[in-house]
Copies of this chain bind each other. A is one copy, B any other.
Amino acid sequence: MNKQWLLAQRPTGLFTPQDFELKEVIIPELTDEQFLVRVIYLSLDPAQRMWAQMDTYLPAVAKGEVMRCLGMGVVIKSRSPAFKEGDVVQGMTGWQTHVITDGRGYSQVPAKSGLPLPVYLGPLGMTGITAYFGLLEVGKPENGETLLVSAAAGAVGSVVCQIGKIKGLRVVGLAGTAEKCRWLKNELGIDEAINYRDANAYAQLKTACPKGIDICFENVGGKSLDMALGLLNVGARVPLCGYISEYASSEPGPGVHNLAALISKRAKIEGFLVLDYVHRSRDALSDLGKWLMDGRLKYNMDINEGFESLPEVINKLFEGKNTGKLLMQISAEPE
C-alpha cells in the first residue's frame, strides 16, 4: 500500500492537519519504462508553503493531489532500462511512501560515496546549489566584502555563510535563537551571529558590519530586509532567495520601508530561482563536494520521523525551529 498526504485545502497561516488528507492506495502494476520507488527521505523546504497556496513558478498543488516535495528513495521494482532495482534516486516524490515514475526529473544518487545519504538532499543537493549560485552568480562577491545572511542557520543560509568564508568575505549571520548563533559562530566559523529577536538587533548588526553591507543574502524579507537596507554600501547586491516572513502568515507580513536606500546606494534586489541554474549543477556540486570532503563545509541535519506528523513537522521551518536541513525519514536506508 502507498500512504499519501493529499492537499485538502489551501493553507492560510501555518499548516494544519486539516489542510491535508491522509490516504492509503493500492500500488498499481508497473508498465513499460516505469519503476517503483520506496521513499526514504522527504525534503521539507519553505517553498512548499507557496506551492500549496498559489501558482508561482510552478502551478499550485491541486486540491486532492499529493503534496509536492523533493525526496529520495530506493528503486524496489523496475521496468526501466535506466533505473534498476537497488538504485538510490531523488526527484519530486511528493509526500508519499511510494512513487511510480518513468524517471523524468529523477536522478541517481551516488549512494556508495561514503557520504551520508541525506547530504544529497542538503549541501550536495538543491539546497547547496541554491546557496552556491545565489551567492556567487547573483551576489557576485569580491574578496574582503561584507556578507549578511538572514536565516543563517537554515539549510541554505548555513551553506551560504560557509561559501562566504571560503571566498574571503566577512560573514555576519542573522538567526532566531542564541543557540543557533553559537552554532554559526563556533561551528561554522562566521564572523558574527546576531539574534534578530534581540531588541537591539539593529545596533548589533551595525556594530558587526563596521564597513557596511555589500551583499545581503536574503531568505526572510520584511523587517530583516529593512534592517539590511539601512546598512547597504554603494553598489550592494541583495540576492532574494526566499521570503519566509510572508510564507506562513495569514496576514500580510510587515512591509518593507527602506527601499529608497537602493537609490542613493545604486543597489539592487534581485530574485532568483535555483531552477534556472540546474543545468549547471555539476560545477556547483564539484566545488561543494570538495569543500565537504576537506571539512570546510559543515552541515546540520534535522531528521524527523513519523509520516503521520508531516503537517506539523514542516511548520518547524516557519517557526524557526530547525537548524540546518529539515528532513523527514519515512523508511529505512538500504543496508
Inter-chain contact B257/A57, CB cutoff 8 Å? no
Inter-chain contact A267/B259, CB cutoff 8 Å? no
- Of chain B, the residue at the smallest CB distance from A226 is B255
- Min CB distance A275 to B, Å, is 9
Partner of A246, one of B241, B260, B264, B266: B260
In chain A between 213 and 254, which residues have their CB closer than 8 angstroms to a CB of chain B?
221, 225, 240-243, 246-247, 252-254
A113 within 8 A of B: no
- One complex includes copies of this chain to the number of 2
Partner of A259, one of B56, B225, B241, B264: B225
Inter-chain contact B253/A256, CB cutoff 8 Å? no
Contacts of A106 in B (CB 8 A): none
Interface residues on A, range: 20 to 34
- Min CB distance A226 to B, Å, is 8
- Min CB distance A129 to B, Å, is 15
Inter-chain contact A240/B253, CB cutoff 8 Å? no
Partner of A269, one of B221, B259, B264, B276: B259
A183 within 8 A of B: no
- Min CB distance A193 to B, Å, is 24
Inter-chain contact A240/B259, CB cutoff 8 Å? yes
- Min CB distance A64 to B, Å, is 24
Known: A240-B259, A255-B254, A259-B240. A269 touches B266 (CB 8 A): no
In chain A between 164 and 217, which residues have their CB closer than 8 angstroms to a CB of chain B?
none
Which residues of A does B touch, CB under 8 Å?
A: 56-57, 221, 225, 240-243, 246-247, 252-257, 259-273, 276
